[in-house]
């Protein structure tokens, strides 16, 4: 197996089979529905984070990094140093945001962007694999199933080809088929010592944004990959060994359809809850209600006196008064983390926490 040479893209295969095209219609439709709904709603920052938190948590769980939402919450909101599994999840979320900003700013994804994204995920600058010896094993038997390309120049050559493929416009608009192809290719190039899976899953959603299929990185696709991990690994392997492209493409397309609907239902619930809270605050606390305050409250899952002070240009005392009023009325729950008092938007956070 170690003398296997990974071919460059595009693969020699006729992708547009009847089954694929049929599934493609459904997947595109689901994604368009999600896009249509999210385009119309305010408070996108917190919404993206709502999806990103679960995405990051699940995505990190492929590596058996299990962490609780409560640990995560502490890790996200406090400026004190955190360690362990919560940190991995926070890094994943950070990498996703970082990548999203790059795509929005430049309108393309380069090899260097991918290297930067991976370095945020693993928190080191090791970059592309330089030393040979990386092998992929079957998790249960320990048998070596694949030896990815070795040597920096060989890896860069393949990445260069991948970069072109990512940034190319497709006249046929079969971007979702391309996504499946490039995810396979990226994982087979396996350019890094670690974090290839996580980087690859971030690239998936960035690609969707890059091609304008969604405006924000809010597709909760990793959960599907994780739920179907055994199949995912088997299908990757079968593409390479048996050229079974169709099953792989269908697997990814189905995942996109399924997760677009799951994400849509989360987004709807989330947005309704925000609307309810706005109404309630307006009606029960008219003295402190303002549109600006609402925007600050629904920017993140937590807020601090400082943010309110700066955001509304009020004194510390006023800011503190606003937050304690909101807490007394049950909209926020505060907690002291280190020296800071953090006000959690508990209703929204609980919604995300229990969403499955």
Ligand X SMILES: Nc1ncnc2c1ncn2[C@@H]1O[C@H](COP(=O)(O)OP(=O)(O)OP(=O)(O)O)[C@@H](O)[C@H]1O
Which residues of this chain interact with ligand X, rule CB under 6 A? 62-63, 136, 145-146, 187-188, 194-198, 200, 233, 236-237
In the complex with ligand X, the residue whose CB is nearer, 250 or 267, is 250
Question: Which span sits near Mg ion by CB under 5 A: 168-176, 194-202, 248-256, 341-349?
Answer: 194-202
Q: Which does 187 bind (CB under 5 to 8 A by kind): ligand X, Mg ion, none?
A: ligand X
What b/e readout covers 172-197, taking b as 16+ CB neighbours within 10 angstroms?
Answer: eebbbbbbbbbbbbbbbbbbbbebbb
Q: Is 133 exposed, middle or buried (0-12, 13-18, 19+ CB in 10 A)?
A: exposed
Q: Which does 200 bind (CB under 5 to 8 A by kind): Mg ion, ligand X, none?
A: ligand X
Residue 194 within binding range of Mg ion, rule CB under 5 A? yes
In the complex with Mg ion, the residue whose CB is nearer, 194 or 280, is 194
In the complex with Mg ion, the residue whose CB is nearer, 192 or 302, is 192
Residue 340 within binding range of Mg ion, rule CB under 5 A? no
C-alpha to C-alpha distance for 146 and 337, rounded to whole angstroms: 46
Report in angstroms how near the CB of residue 37 gets to ligand X at its nearest: 29
C-alpha to C-alpha distance for 293 and 281, rounded to whole angstroms: 10
In the complex with ligand X, the residue whose CB is nearer, 146 or 349, is 146
Select from 268, 215, 254 the least CA-distant residue to 30: 254
Report in angstroms how near the CB of residue 323 gets to Mg ion at its nearest: 40
In the complex with Mg ion, the residue whose CB is nearer, 154 or 194, is 194
**Phi-psi category of 112—alpha, beta or left, where left has phi over 0 and alpha has psi -120 to 50?**
alpha
Confirm if 14 and 177 have CB atoms less than 8 A apart. Answer: no
Residue 193 within binding range of Mg ion, rule CB under 5 A? no
C-alpha to C-alpha distance for 243 and 250, rounded to whole angstroms: 14
In the complex with ligand X, the residue whose CB is nearer, 40 or 141, is 141
Q: Is 297 exposed, middle or buried (0-12, 13-18, 19+ CB in 10 A)?
A: buried
Report in angstroms how near the CB of residue 123 gets to ligand X at its nearest: 12
Residues within the interface to Mg ion (CB under 5 A):
194
């Amino acid at each position: 197996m170690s003398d296997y040479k990974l071919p460059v893209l595009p693969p020699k295969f006729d992708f547009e089979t009847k089954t694929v095209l049929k599934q493609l219609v459904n997947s595109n439709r689901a994604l368009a529905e999600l896009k249509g709904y999210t385009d119309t709603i305010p408070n996108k920052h917190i919404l993206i984070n709502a999806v990103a938190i679960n995405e990051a948590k699940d995505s990190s769980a492929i590596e058996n990094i299990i962490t609780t939402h409560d640990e995560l919450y502490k890790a996200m909101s406090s400026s004190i140093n955190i360690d362990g599994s919560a940190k991995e999840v926070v890094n994943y979320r950070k990498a996703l945001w970082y990548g999203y900003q790059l795509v929005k700013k430049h309108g393309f994804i380069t090899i260097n962007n991918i290297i930067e994204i991976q370095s945020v995920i693993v928190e080191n600058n090791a970059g592309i694999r330089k030393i040979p010896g990386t092998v992929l094993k079957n998790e249960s038997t320990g048998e070596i199933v694949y030896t990815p390309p070795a040597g920096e120049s060989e890896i860069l050559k393949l990445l260069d080809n991948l970069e072109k493929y990512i940034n190319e416009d497709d006249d046929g608009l079969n971007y979702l088929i391309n996504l499946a192809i490039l995810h396979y290719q990226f994982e087979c190039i396996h350019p890094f010592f670690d974090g290839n899976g996580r980087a690859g899953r971030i690239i998936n959603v960035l690609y969707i944004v890059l091609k304008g299929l969604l405006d924000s990185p809010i597709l909760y696709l990793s959960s599907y990959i994780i739920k179907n991990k055994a199949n995912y690994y088997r299908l990757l392997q079968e593409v390479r060994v048996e050229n079974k492209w169709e099953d792989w493409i269908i697997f990814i397309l189905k995942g996109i359809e399924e997760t677009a609907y799951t994400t849509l239902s989360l987004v709807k619930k989330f947005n309704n809850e925000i609307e309810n809270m706005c109404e309630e605050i307006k009606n029960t606390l008219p003295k402190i209600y303002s549109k600006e305050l609402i925007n600050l409250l629904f920017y993140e899952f937590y807020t601090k006196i400082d943010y309110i002070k700066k955001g509304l240009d009020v004194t510390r005392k006023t800011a503190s008064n606003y937050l304690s009023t909101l807490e007394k009325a049950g909209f926020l729950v505060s907690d002291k983390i280190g020296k800071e008092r953090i006000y959690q938007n508990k209703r929204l956070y609980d919604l995300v926490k229990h969403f499955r």
